[in-house]
């Protein structure tokens, strides 16, 4: 392949994009065989370079547990490709749509059609998963794909650029560089669809730039995903599930439980059990290789600022060591921290945490968590623990979120037959499985007129025939 590596300045970016556009307009839509071939090459790319991706991602973080990369990224993607390859033939087929009787014996069909060129702006927290998963849907839908990785993942980005170039023609799929010029110019390109995964703040910027070209966008953002502990919940079951979900990737997960709402008289017990579960899983030694580092010094400093602000405002911290402990800070590993006594005025309750900090707030009335959640931006995820089905259904009916897992956390993301997406400030649009295929597809409605349809009876000159026909149409409507 002759795809350029390394530098990817403004001219190269625009040239590559316009070559893709020209090919997408000049050539017939990708056949089933072409789509399956592209998915197979993508699968080979992942399998051939699995260890290299683990090492590159770990290097970008300072340390990233390889098991977490395998579970949350590689294995998930391989399963997604297998599922998509199995079903793409059916997804591509024209879809029957009911036809109103007055148009019989004509028929309606929806014809899935590739959009053209899809842009993907990827984040740093799960760089492989959140880059390749949307690419799977875009390729399956017959599109060409341009990827802009995160500037916080330089080792991964270079490896992805190299491996994609080895497997794909640059008019099929290409990975840009990560310098500032590319980052600024990418969202300004007139893509046929643009997908962005990242913060709400940057998502607004991306949407504004895309809007100048009327480019449709899918935004996978973040926010403060709540966890509700119902009075019927078993705290011994709850604690390890929350602890694992919060500390996976050191909390640098867009759907991580951001804060917990628990019955006031259970807060102390729950906090202690979560702290103990965190220590059982990850210990109290920053050298523990199962525990991932914070991606950058400025992110570590931001988390420390949240903790310091909470403590200054009266919160109590449960942590194995303070954040400025040299052994932890030198490895950029933030001590797992349970925050008691958090209040809405604290910074930790006003912005997405994106780290291993877990505020636990008490409530008195079962309706309080619903009111608390509905008084804030729509979350990307919501978690509920308990056995009271009426209380569970009340929360499901009265709150709006991107997705929900009941009696666990994170797991709804792994359901390939369910859409993954946000709502409101946490995002717009969805992907995964057939939902991803549809996101990157124009489902074109087509009506096939029958030679036996009496449309000609509607043509002028009007006379008695129109009255008779109108009477029939009213009866059928």
- 179: pLDDT strictly greater than 90: no
- Residue 418: strand pairing partners: none
- 9: pLDDT strictly greater than 70: no
Helix (H, G, I), strand (E, B) or coil at 66: helix
Looking from the CA of 312 toward its CB, the CA atoms found within 13 Å total 10
Q: What pLDDT, in 10s, does the model give residues 364-397? A: 999 999 999 999 999 999 999 999 999 999 999 9
pLDDT at 5: 38
CB atoms within 10 A of CB 429: 19
Q: Among all residues, which ones are annotated catalytic?
A: 220, 254
pLDDT at 64: 96
pTM score, two decimals? 0.93
Residue 8 confidence class, pLDDT cut points 50, 70, 90? low
Higher pLDDT among residues 462 and 417, named by residue: 417
Q: What pLDDT, in 10s, does the model give residues 68-102? A: 999 999 999 999 999 999 999 999 999 999 998 88
CB 209 within 8 A of CB 244: no
Pairing of strands 357-363, 259-263: parallel
Q: What pLDDT, in 10s, does the model give residues 130-177? A: 999 999 999 999 999 999 999 999 999 999 999 999 999 999 999 998
- 2: pLDDT strictly greater than 90: no
Task: Give the CATH number of domain 10-221+428-442; options: 3.30.360.10, 3.20.20.480, 2.40.50.140, 3.40.605.10.
Answer: 3.40.605.10
Residue 342 burial (C-beta neighbours within 10 Å; 0-12, 13-18, 19+): buried
Domain extent listing, the chain:
10-221+428-442, 226-421
**Order of all β-strands in the sheet with 107-114:** 95-97, 107-114, 441-448
**226-421: CATH class:** alpha beta
Q: What pLDDT, in 10s, does the model give residues 97-125? A: 999 888 889 999 999 999 999 999 999 99
What is the overall mean pLDDT for the chain?
Answer: 94
Q: What pLDDT, in 10s, does the model give residues 248-300? A: 999 999 999 999 999 999 999 999 999 999 999 999 999 999 999 999 999 99
Intrachain domains 10-221+428-442 and 226-421 with the same fold: no
Q: What pLDDT, in 10s, does the model give residues 394-419? A: 999 999 999 999 999 999 999 999 99
Gap between the Cα atoms of 431 and 416, Å rounded: 9
Q: What is the mean pLDDT of residues 336-344?
A: 96
């Amino acid at each position: 392949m002759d795809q350029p590596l390394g530098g990817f300045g403004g001219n190269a970016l625009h040239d590559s994009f316009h070559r893709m556009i020209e090919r997408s307009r000049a050539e017939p839509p990708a056949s089933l065989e072409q789509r399956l071939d592209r998915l197979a090459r993508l699968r080979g790319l992942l399998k051939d370079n699995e260890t290299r991706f683990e090492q590159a991602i770990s290097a970008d973080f300072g340390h990233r547990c390889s098991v977490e990369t395998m579970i949350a990224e590689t294995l998930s993607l391989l399963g997604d490709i297998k599922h998509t390859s199995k079903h793409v033939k059916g997804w591509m087929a024209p879809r029957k749509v009911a036809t109103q009787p007055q148009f019989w014996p004509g028929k309606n069909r929806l014809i899935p059609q590739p959009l053209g060129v899809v842009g993907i702006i990827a984040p740093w927290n799960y760089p492989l998963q959140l880059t390749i998963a949307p690419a799977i849907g875009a390729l399956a839908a017959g599109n060409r794909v341009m990827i802009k990785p995160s500037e916080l993942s330089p080792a991964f980005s270079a490896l992805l650029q190299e491996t994609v170039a080895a497997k794909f023609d640059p008019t099929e799929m290409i990975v840009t560089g990560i310098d500032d010029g590319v980052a600024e110019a990418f969202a300004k390109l007139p893509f046929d669809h643009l997908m962005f995964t990242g913060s709400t703040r940057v998502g607004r910027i991306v949407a504004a730039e895309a809007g100048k070209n009327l480019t449709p966008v899918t935004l996978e953002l973040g926010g403060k995903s709540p966890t509700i502990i119902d009075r019927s919940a078993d705290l011994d079951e709850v604690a390890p599930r929350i602890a694992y979900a919060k500390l996976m990737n050191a909390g640098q997960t867009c759907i991580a439980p951001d804060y917990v709402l628990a019955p006031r008289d259970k807060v102390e017990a729950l906090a202690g059990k979560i702290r103990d579960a965190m220590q059982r899983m990850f210990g109290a030694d920053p050298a523990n290789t199962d525990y991932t580092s914070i991606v950058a010094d400025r992110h570590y400093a931001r988390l420390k600022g949240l903790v310091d602000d909470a403590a200054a405002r009266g919160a109590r911290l449960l942590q194995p060591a303070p954040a400025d402990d040299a052994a932890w800070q030198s490895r950029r590993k933030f001590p797992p921290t349970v925050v008691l006594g958090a209040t809405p005025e604290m910074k930790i309750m006003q912005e997405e945490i994106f780290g291993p900090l877990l505020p636990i707030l008490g409530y008195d009335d079962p309706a309080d968590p619903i009111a608390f959640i509905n008084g804030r931006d729509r979350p990307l995820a919501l978690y509920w623990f308990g056995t009271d089905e009426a209380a569970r259904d009340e929360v499901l009916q009265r709150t709006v979120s991107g997705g929900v897992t009941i009696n666990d956390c994170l797991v709804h993301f792994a359901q390939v037959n369910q859409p993954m997406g946000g709502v409101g400030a946490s995002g717009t649009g969805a992907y995964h499985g057939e939902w991803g295929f549809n996101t990157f597809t124009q489902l074109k409605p087509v009506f096939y007129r029958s030679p036996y349809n009496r449309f000609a009876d509607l043509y002028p000159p009007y006379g008695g025939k129109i009255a008779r026909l109108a009477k029939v149409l009213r009866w059928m409507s």
